Chains A and B, each alone.
Chain A
């Protein structure tokens, strides 16, 4: 079933932690096959917004849908009814997520990490899941590390396994939360290369990142956030090379 709605559609999304309002009305549209990079200073709410998209954080106000389905809620008339846990989990399964600190399952080998979603959530047969996982590990260049536990992998390798784990769910959309921030400088390239390939393959991606060169090269849209709002968005050229807003200019100058 294809529909014409954007992959991610956010209008006036709000989120507070206690009395601290982190998101103050985010508007953002991500079209199918697009790569959107979220940039901004720490504390600007970009990671929180990303976590809202797959309902790891529930929103307090506004509208947020992925592929035409509301995130975390069902609409009944004028009300948004919180989803049952089962439905919430089912919707999440179609949205991949890659974390800053990889979060590979520490008690499972690389192969088992990738198999976990297909087996536990998609109810695939073990053999089929193993074949799928091997293919994906091959795709991220780690076929030979299939039986290695995460603590024996480098950061870059761990992150590539994490990407394979997300791909194993055949997601419509992958969210990247600062995927290279925890890596040693010489390992950043291998992860970005995998992400570049994904983008070329037509995957819809929302990437929180500090890698300006990557954003310039791969992103269709760059979104600059600060203080819980979107300050400026547009093509990489517009936002990164010729920012209109003073806050964007300041930030880009400080990042260098």
Chain B
């Protein structure tokens, strides 16, 4: 081929010069001035924000650091974590049962779940929390037994502590959402998978446990991770029933000292910290569950 271009043409053409020269030509990319301008503006804006918050004495950063690891805040933080974990676990367990009922062939089971979801997703969580807190007004005593039959044991409505009311409210509300997530995950596993498992002689529970559920988790876990993060923040609602979780603990301090902003920042720092940790955990869990589904295993 080189012989063809031995004589350079009079006008430079794209194919001019020797082959080796053409191969080693340098590629020049165009600069996007629009993007450069946008980046500069953004940098200035962010820097301005940081500068403003750092230099504004009303933020009272010294107060923030004073309370960040104070006993009362840490105790509140622990309560928040407890509430998040227990209500997510309970909500997920109830959600599994609801999801299985939704997938049942029995239409009464399906209708029950429909009504359940309608009730718990259709009313605000705040209302539900206050409702459970005041349940003793509705049922001063709760008899446990068969309807119309012998009473097995009796619960006093007053025995419902704010912590129990909070758990009830958060878990039941959460279960309605988890049911939908779990059902979606199970449906996302192809029918061929359970058929193949059935064909080698597995029983229905084994099929669920060994084949369907592990694959459904791949879909369920990311959505559940979001629910956990949402739940962590939602627990702040229970401050209305005077349960000293993270936000309420901060409130009790600023009710006394009027250092509202610094204490809200303290609470926010902790919420952000836990959220970040949860996100990291979620990443690794998803990575493990994704085996067999990525282009590289």
Other-chain residue from B193, B200, B214, B294 in contact with A117 (beta carbon distance below 8 A): B200
Give residues 148-186 of B contacting A (CB, 8 Å).
none
CA of A67 to CA of B54, assembled, Å: 83
One of A95-103, A138-146, A209-217 at the interface: A95-103
Give residues 83-116 of A contacting B (CB, 8 Å).
85-86, 89-90, 92-97, 99, 101, 103-109, 116
Given A116-B210, A151-B292, A151-B293: A103 touches B200 (CB 8 Å cut-off): no
Interface contact B297-A103, CB-CB below 8 Å: no
Give residues 248-297 of B contacting A (CB, 8 Å).
291-295, 297
> Distance in Å from the Cβ of A228 to the closest Cβ of chain B?
22
- Is residue B201 within 8 Å, beta carbon to beta carbon, of the partner chain? yes
CA of A116 to CA of B201, assembled, Å: 11
Interface contact B195-A107, CB-CB below 8 Å: no
Interface contact A105-B193, CB-CB below 8 Å: yes
> Distance in Å from the Cβ of B208 to the closest Cβ of chain A?
12
Report the nearest B residue to A95, measured CB to CB.
B199
CA of A121 to CA of B193, assembled, Å: 16
Give residues 197-236 of A contacting B (CB, 8 Å).
none
CA of A166 to CA of B190, assembled, Å: 19
**Does more than half of chain B's interface fall in helix, strand or loop, or is it mixed?**
helix
Interface contact A152-B297, CB-CB below 8 Å: yes
- Is residue B10 within 8 Å, beta carbon to beta carbon, of the partner chain? no
Interface contact A121-B202, CB-CB below 8 Å: yes
> Distance in Å from the Cβ of A136 to the closest Cβ of chain B?
13
CA of A95 to CA of B210, assembled, Å: 20
- Is residue B197 within 8 Å, beta carbon to beta carbon, of the partner chain? yes
Q: Which residues of A contact B35 (CB under 8 A)?
A: none
Give residues 172-224 of B contacting A (CB, 8 Å).
190, 192-193, 195-204, 206, 210-211, 214-215, 218
CA of A86 to CA of B204, assembled, Å: 9
Other-chain residue from B193, B204, B210, B293 in contact with A120 (beta carbon distance below 8 A): B210
Q: Which residues of A contact B206 (CB under 8 A)?
A: 120-121
Other-chain residue from A92, A109, A150, A169 in contact with B198 (beta carbon distance below 8 A): A92
Q: Which residues of B contact A148 (CB under 8 A)?
A: 297
A 114-156 binary contact with B (CB < 8 Å = 1; else 0): 0011001100000000000000000000000000111110000
Other-chain residue from B201, B291, B295 in contact with A92 (beta carbon distance below 8 A): B201
CA of A101 to CA of B293, assembled, Å: 16
Give residues 68-93 of A contacting B (CB, 8 Å).
85-86, 89-90, 92-93
Which has the most chain A C-beta neighbours within 10 Å: B195, B196, B200, B293? B200
Q: Which residues of B contact A107 (CB under 8 A)?
A: 214-215, 218, 291-293
Interface contact A89-B193, CB-CB below 8 Å: no
Considering only CB atoms and an 8 Å cut-off, how many residues of chain A contact the other chain?
34
CA of A166 to CA of B196, assembled, Å: 10
Q: Which residues of B contact A56 (CB under 8 A)?
A: 195, 198-199
- Is residue A46 within 8 Å, beta carbon to beta carbon, of the partner chain? no
Given A104-B196, A120-B210: A93 touches B201 (CB 8 Å cut-off): yes
Interface contact B196-A99, CB-CB below 8 Å: yes
Q: Which residues of B contact A104 (CB under 8 A)?
A: 196
> Distance in Å from the Cβ of A50 to the closest Cβ of chain B?
11
Other-chain residue from A85, A101, A150, A169 in contact with B203 (beta carbon distance below 8 A): A85
CA of A150 to CA of B200, assembled, Å: 18
Given A120-B210, A151-B293: A86 touches B200 (CB 8 Å cut-off): no
Interface contact A169-B200, CB-CB below 8 Å: yes
- Is residue A165 within 8 Å, beta carbon to beta carbon, of the partner chain? yes
- Is residue A48 within 8 Å, beta carbon to beta carbon, of the partner chain? no
Other-chain residue from A89, A150, A162 in contact with B201 (beta carbon distance below 8 A): A89
Other-chain residue from A95, A106, A116 in contact with B215 (beta carbon distance below 8 A): A106
CA of A86 to CA of B294, assembled, Å: 35
- Is residue A65 within 8 Å, beta carbon to beta carbon, of the partner chain? no
Q: Which residues of A contact B199 (CB under 8 A)?
A: 54, 56, 92, 95-97, 99
CA of A120 to CA of B203, assembled, Å: 10
> Distance in Å from the Cβ of A133 to the closest Cβ of chain B?
13
Interface contact B292-A150, CB-CB below 8 Å: yes
Report the nearest B residue to A91, measured CB to CB.
B201
Other-chain residue from A95, A105, A152 in contact with B196 (beta carbon distance below 8 A): A105
Given A107-B215, A116-B210, A152-B297: A85 touches B204 (CB 8 Å cut-off): yes
Q: Which residues of A contact B211 (CB under 8 A)?
A: 105
CA of A105 to CA of B189, assembled, Å: 10
5 contacts between A and B (CB under 8 A): A89-B202, A106-B293, A120-B202, A121-B200, A166-B200
Chain A residues packing against B (C-beta within 8 Å): 54, 56, 85-86, 89-90, 92-97, 99, 101, 103-109, 116-117, 120-121, 148-152, 162, 165-166, 169
